[in-house]
Chains A and B, each alone.
Chain A
């Protein structure tokens, strides 16, 4: 059925159909199950979902994502989902291809030659959204490979908590995604730690940008100890 590939449902009825779901799978199960049941229900009940997430595709989703003003999970006593979470849920419905996700992540209006880490990912909330989705949907090696370059992005993000806002940064958010097990009202699936993947030769050991500084500090520290030691000898 060629038509099934070129189109998808405007609403989430097919996604939430837990017996007759026939769309793309993520790690062998319905993508919607990556969100908790309570959160899922609150998302589909929310006004933002009904009004703004209806009939989106991978391109029109950008319209909504660039207008995001904050990230976050659920807010208030009722656990109202943020637009960020609603759009992440929409992404789970669409399951876009890898290239599209990479475009979200590293979009730059500059020509491909001029793109570097400074101007990649111009829409930072779109970038955060793509990173969140990648952490949920991709395979561990790809997750580490695509998300670790984002640790150089030091732009600010506004994060909505249960009862207010806090300041965070893109790199901090990405670090949370890689290390924590609960981000934005979602239990992230247990990812094998980096060290294990390194042992299996699937990943190269990560070179931190701060490595040189740390080594320099260590050396200084050694010098200090020596000086103290030599003084002690005298």
Chain B
């Protein structure tokens, strides 16, 4: 009884306090925003008219859309070479769904070759599906300089590791191979431990395998 609430979310007594109270600041801000937008648009419209062009209002972009950026690495088109995968029976027809080929996760499409795939990645459809605007931010001189400095540092670090002495290189190669072998051995052992009796997968050997006598 003590906190009686009216239909519009107001509380307290009084004759007139049943009315909804408006947040004046918020609505003032909204009005200001709307006026500003209107002003901007009419200015753009006027400028376009001066240049003899027609003004088109830009479609509003969703607030969480991000700018398109350059690919940071090469597209890996060879990752699936030599692999076997199961595809649904109807996957051979059309691009829809996951099938054999280059699959785009966001758009649920499969492409048969890398050219089609990369064209799709650049397409408006894909950019919209992944929340990108399709527009790239312009870079200024400082950004260019920072980028070049970074590239220079990166290159310096890469060339620092290059050893020209032949003996040292042979030694490095041997160590690397040793490491890889160790890794393979470790994996094999793990696999063996995973099987039921710990004996690993026994090779099934049949006498005269495959030879017809």
Question: In the complex where A107-B145, A107-B148 touch, is A58 in contact with B58 (Cβ < 8 A)?
Answer: no
CA distance A51 to B136 in the complex (A): 15
CA distance A6 to B135 in the complex (A): 10
Could you say which of B136, B143, B145, B155 contacts A10, with CB atoms under 8 Å apart?
Answer: B136
Question: Does A228 sit within 8 A of B, measured CB to CB?
Answer: no
Contacts of B11 in A (CB 8 A): none
Binds B, one of A95-103, A170-178, A204-212: A95-103
Question: Does A104 sit within 8 A of B, measured CB to CB?
Answer: yes
CA distance A103 to B149 in the complex (A): 11
Question: In the complex where A59-B147, A62-B144, A63-B147 touch, is A6 in contact with B138 (Cβ < 8 A)?
Answer: yes
Q: Would you call A57 and B138 a contact (CB within 8 A)?
A: yes
Q: Mark A52-86, 1 if CB is under 8 A from B, else 0.
A: 10111111101100100000000000000000000
Which interface class (under 10, 10 to 19, 20 to 34, 35 or more) fits B? 35 or more
Q: Would you call B141 and A55 a contact (CB within 8 A)?
A: no
Question: Does B151 sit within 8 A of A, measured CB to CB?
Answer: yes
CA distance A122 to B156 in the complex (A): 12
Question: Does A167 sit within 8 A of B, measured CB to CB?
Answer: no
Q: Mark B68-81, 1 if CB is under 8 A from A, else 0.
A: 11110011000000
Question: Does A156 sit within 8 A of B, measured CB to CB?
Answer: no
Taking CB as reference atom, which chain A residue is nearest B153?
A109
Q: Would you call B137 and A57 a contact (CB within 8 A)?
A: yes
CA distance A87 to B155 in the complex (A): 20
Contacts of B122 in A (CB 8 A): 10-11, 50, 54
Question: Does A8 sit within 8 A of B, measured CB to CB?
Answer: yes
Question: In the complex where A55-B69, A59-B144, A122-B152 touch, is A50 in contact with B118 (Cβ < 8 A)?
Answer: yes
Q: Would you call B70 and A5 a contact (CB within 8 A)?
A: no
Looking at the assembled complex, report how far the CB atom of A49 sits from the nearest CB atom of chain B, in whole angstroms: 10
Contacts of B148 in A (CB 8 A): 62, 66, 103, 107, 109, 123
CA distance A58 to B53 in the complex (A): 29
CA distance A107 to B58 in the complex (A): 38
CA distance A115 to B114 in the complex (A): 44
Q: Mark A17-60, 1 if CB is under 8 A from B, else 0.
A: 00000100000000000000000000000010011101111111
Q: Which of B101-159 contact A (CB under 8 A)?
A: 114-115, 118-119, 121-122, 127, 133-141, 143-149, 151-153, 155
Q: Would you call A59 and B143 a contact (CB within 8 A)?
A: yes
Q: Which of B9-43 contact A (CB under 8 A)?
A: none
Looking at the assembled complex, report how far the CB atom of B57 sits from the nearest CB atom of chain A, in whole angstroms: 11
Q: Would you call B68 and A6 a contact (CB within 8 A)?
A: no
CA distance A3 to B61 in the complex (A): 12
CA distance A59 to B148 in the complex (A): 8
Question: In the complex where A52-B71, A55-B71 touch, is A7 in contact with B151 (Cβ < 8 A)?
Answer: no
CA distance A51 to B70 in the complex (A): 9
Taking CB as reference atom, which chain A residue is nearest B156?
A109
Question: Does A200 sit within 8 A of B, measured CB to CB?
Answer: no
Q: Would you call A109 and B152 a contact (CB within 8 A)?
A: yes
Question: In the complex where A47-B114, A47-B118, A123-B151 touch, is A7 in contact with B141 (Cβ < 8 A)?
Answer: no
CA distance A91 to B152 in the complex (A): 21
CA distance A109 to B141 in the complex (A): 15
Contacts of A109 in B (CB 8 A): 148-149, 152-153
Question: Does B67 sit within 8 A of A, measured CB to CB?
Answer: yes
Question: Does B91 sit within 8 A of A, measured CB to CB?
Answer: no
Question: Does A9 sit within 8 A of B, measured CB to CB?
Answer: yes
Q: Would you call B135 and A10 a contact (CB within 8 A)?
A: yes
Contacts of A7 in B (CB 8 A): 67, 133, 135-138
The 8 closest A-B pairs by CB, nearest first: A59-B139, A7-B135, A60-B70, A58-B139, A10-B68, A59-B147, A55-B70, A59-B143
28 A-B pairs with CB atoms under 8 Å apart are A1-B58, A7-B67, A7-B135, A8-B136, A8-B138, A9-B135, A10-B122, A22-B53, A47-B118, A51-B74, A55-B68, A55-B69, A56-B70, A57-B137, A57-B139, A59-B147, A60-B70, A62-B144, A62-B147, A62-B148, A63-B70, A63-B151, A66-B151, A99-B141, A100-B141, A103-B145, A103-B148, A123-B148
